Amino acid sequence: MKKRVVIALGGNALGNNLPEQMIAVKNTSKAIADLIVEGYDVVISHGNGPQVGMINEAMDVYGRSNPLHPTFTPLSVCVAMSQAYIGYDLQNALKEELLDRGIEKSITTVITQVRVDEDDPKFLNPTKPIGHFMNEEELKFAKEKGFQVIEDSGRGYRRVVASPLPKEIIEIKTIKNLLNSGEIVITCGGGGIPVIRQGHHLKGVSAVIDKDFACSVLAQEIDADYLIILTAVEKVAINFGKPGEKWLESITTDEAKEYMNQGHFAPGSMLPKVQAAVDFASSGDNRTALITLLEKAKDGINGKTGTVIKK
């Protein structure tokens, strides 16, 4: 059987705006196509950091200028919008790249909901910035709407939302059916649309799920062999930027946990990536997590570079 790989694309794989995204996904597709040519079954996920903020701001501006439009668009809806338009660009670019290589494969983007725990303590301490720094008018509007804002290092105010942990991928059966039929699937974009369950009803919540944690859950649910977390560095380091800096090539989950306990990884940067990698690698035998650069994904999975984490 083919080895199954979940790829978690970082922000550098998508650019910061629409024109950049159109260019970025072409380069991203080349790296993904390399793995498909190598014979791997590939499942793709991605972040949505700048995109969801732009959508949210655009909807707020439109709402304030048009009295017939609601002045508040739920963040969960903005996440859904970001999934659709990023998936649209990514699936078309990948399809084109594969056809250029003589490969005919169907690619599907699944608008994916991810259940979170309503009582997750992270809801009590929102820390995830959304959107740009506000002027006085925007700050007043945000406070009137009950948004939580923080002052960011003297640079101004930004809205912040919670980042709860993913518990369940709602569309997991659909994802599995597509994979089993030979489709390439793009799913859990932006960490998934955050929802809580109220009986049979799924209610969107104002939050952003970390895409690496969501990808770890996804990889476990589809029994993947590899979780590849693509980021802005070729390898993970301890003592990063300090005396004794060391780039890690292959470590066990126990070693990774010890490094985390020692505070080697920044909470808003490498820590969630390493934690997600450990969660996946610890979840079963013969499961491997890899953290590396996008353009090094093929070399990384072939053991030539990157940081490999195994049980």
Nearest of 76, 21, 14 to residue 47 by alpha carbon: 14
DSSP for 1-25 reads -PPEEEEEE-GGGT-SSHHHHHHHH
CA 193 to CA 188: how far, in whole Å? 8
pLDDT tens digits, residue range 179-228? Answer: 999 999 999 999 999 999 999 999 999 999 999 999 999 999 999 999 99
With respect to residue 272, please indicate whether it lies within any of the assigned structural domains: yes
CA 216 to CA 211: how far, in whole Å? 9
With respect to residue 157, please indicate whether it lies within any of the assigned structural domains: no
With respect to residue 126, please indicate whether it lies within any of the assigned structural domains: no
pLDDT tens digits, residue range 53-77? Answer: 889 888 878 877 887 876 678 999 9
pLDDT tens digits, residue range 259-298? Answer: 999 999 988 789 999 999 999 999 999 999 999 999 999 9
Of 89-93, 136-140, 195-199, the one with minimum mean pLDDT is 136-140
With respect to residue 26, please indicate whether it lies within any of the assigned structural domains: yes
The pLDDT-based confidence of 140 (bands split at 50, 70, 90) is: confident
Alpha helical stretches, state H, 117-242: 136-144, 172-180, 211-221
CB 148 within 8 A of CB 159: yes
pTM of this structure: 0.92
Higher pLDDT pick, 68 / 304: 304
pLDDT tens digits, residue range 99-125? Answer: 999 999 999 999 999 999 999 999 998
With respect to residue 185, please indicate whether it lies within any of the assigned structural domains: yes
With respect to residue 124, please indicate whether it lies within any of the assigned structural domains: no
CATH number, domain containing residue 230:
3.40.1160.10
Domain count, the chain: 1
The reported pLDDT for the residue numbered 154 is 75
Mean pLDDT of the chain: 92
Instruction: Give the position of tokens 């029994």.
Output: 223
The pLDDT-based confidence of 232 (bands split at 50, 70, 90) is: confident
Q: Is residue 12's pLDDT more than 70?
A: no
Q: Is residue 15's pLDDT more than 90?
A: no
Q: Is residue 151's pLDDT more than 90?
A: no
Instruction: Read off the pLDDT of each residue in 136-144 and give the average, rounded to a whole number.
Output: 80
Q: Is residue 29's pLDDT more than 70?
A: yes
The reported pLDDT for the residue numbered 308 is 97
Q: Is residue 45's pLDDT more than 80?
A: yes
**Residue ranges of E strands in the chain:** 4-9, 41-46, 107-109, 113-116, 128-134, 149-151, 157-161, 166-169, 184-186, 193-198, 201-204, 226-231, 236-238, 246-248, 250-252, 288-293, 307-310
With respect to residue 143, please indicate whether it lies within any of the assigned structural domains: no
With respect to residue 119, please indicate whether it lies within any of the assigned structural domains: no
Higher pLDDT pick, 69 / 299: 299
CA 186 to CA 110: how far, in whole Å? 6
CA 50 to CA 70: how far, in whole Å? 23
Q: Is residue 138's pLDDT more than 90?
A: no
Q: Which residues are catalytic?
A: 11-12, 128, 211, 273
Of 44-53, 124-133, 163-172, 198-207, the one with minimum mean pLDDT is 124-133
CA 121 to CA 105: how far, in whole Å? 42
Q: 37: domain range?
A: 4-113+166-310
Instruction: Give the position of tokens 């701001």.
Output: 57
Q: Is residue 145's pLDDT more than 80?
A: no
